[in-house]
Amino acid sequence: MELQGRKSFLHRCAKSGDVVHAGLVITLLVGVWYSQALEVSTGKVHFIEVMNGSSVLLPCTYASCIGIKNLYFSWQFKDNGTLIKLCEAVIPGEGIEPNVKIYHERVEFVGTSKKSNISILLHNVTFEDQGEYICFARNPKEKDRNHSAVFTLYVVDELRVVDNTLTLIIVSVLGGVIGLIILIMVVKAVVIAVLNRVQEKNKECLVSSSGNDNTENGLPGSKADSKPTPKA
Ligand SMILES: *[C@@H]1O[C@H](CO)[C@@H](O)[C@H](O)[C@H]1NC(C)=O
Ligand SMILES: *[C@@H]1O[C@H](CO)[C@@H](O)[C@H](O)[C@H]1NC(C)=O
Ligand SMILES: *[C@@H]1O[C@H](CO)[C@@H](O)[C@H](O)[C@H]1NC(C)=O
Ligand SMILES: *[C@@H]1O[C@H](CO)[C@@H](O)[C@H](O)[C@H]1NC(C)=O
Ligand SMILES: *[C@@H]1O[C@H](CO)[C@@H](O)[C@H](O)[C@H]1NC(C)=O
């Protein structure tokens, strides 16, 4: 009875091991499939700071190993939680330029499907433009799987420049203070070293020839004043 129970337990273990193996294989397969799928990217930099009134490039590219056909893409702006569509288009095939529908007066499409580039330019940036921009793409070849990348825009004005000079001032003052501290420490070290040497010499003198300290050192006036000899 006991043996049988053990056997079945072992059997169960083997079974669960099989399940684990199968899971691993599936995971690997899915991983391979994923790497072949469409990828949407805003590049290495995921955010940018821009001054109000200027124009800014919102970068986005796509890549697909299995190729594209009727690739749908759009740009959306997350304004206070709600998504606003800025533009959208379908790229019929590799290298065929899309006919982009633009829903925002200051948005310009600057991408080209020859370079898998679906970047847009945002002109005359205002503070209301600050937020997240979502580059969205869907490749019907992949059962309409959704892909997106987020690019964050920060809008600043000239105040930032003043801030920069302020930090520059702070940094230089801090640098000056640190430099001064270092200088003081160096001077202190030198002074201590000199004093030590003088003291040692004084000691030697005291030991060897107790009285003739001043004349031997060759500095008659100052030594006598600063170092009072009656110490021991
Ligand atoms: C940016 O905003 C500041 C503050 O609102 C304003 O004074 C400045 O004129 C703006 N700059 C541009 C280029 O619009
Ligand atoms: C977001 O929307 C709500 C409701 O419309 C509004 O009360 C709030 O002020 C908005 N916040 C910003 C930062 O615009
Ligand atoms: C940006 O602003 C300038 C000057 O205010 C204007 O001439 C230009 O048409 C604007 N561009 C867009 C795309 O709104
Ligand atoms: C996409 O196109 C824009 C405009 O031509 C360009 O500035 C940008 O560098 C391009 N991005 C990439 C990744 O090629
Ligand atoms: C893809 O996004 C669209 C909206 O843009 C949504 O309706 C659809 O359900 C999404 N599909 C998947 C598979 O998530």
Mean pLDDT of 131-137: 95
Residues 79 and 49 in one domain: yes
- Domain count of the fold of the chain: 2
Tens of pLDDT along 176-189?
888 898 898 988 99
Tokens of 71: 């690739």
Residues 63 and 150 grouped into a single domain: yes
Q: Is residue 107 part of a domain?
A: yes
Ligand 5 near 99 CB (within 6 A): no
Is residue 98 in some structural domain?
yes
Q: Is the pTM of this model over 0.85?
A: no
Residues 67 and 149 reside in one and the same domain? yes
Same domain, 90 and 129: yes
pLDDT tens digit sequence for 211-231: 455 545 545 444 445 445 555
Asked whether the CA dihedral 16, 20, 22, 23 is positive or negative, the reply is positive
Strand residues in 80-145 grouped as ranges (E): 82-93, 101-102, 107-109, 120-122, 131-138
CB atoms within 10 A of CB 42: 21
| pLDDT of amino acid 2 | 46
Instruction: State whether 76 and 110 are in the same domain.
Output: yes
168: domain range? 163-195
Read off the pLDDT of residues 189-211 as tens digits, 9 standing for 90 and up. 988 888 888 777 666 545 544 44
Question: For 140-158, what is the mean pLDDT?
Answer: 88
Cβ atoms within 10 Å of 215's Cβ, excluding its own: 10
At 109 the pLDDT is 96
CA of 158 from ligand 1 middle (Å) equals 7
72 alpha carbon to ligand 4 midpoint, in Å?
19
74 pLDDT above the threshold of 80? yes
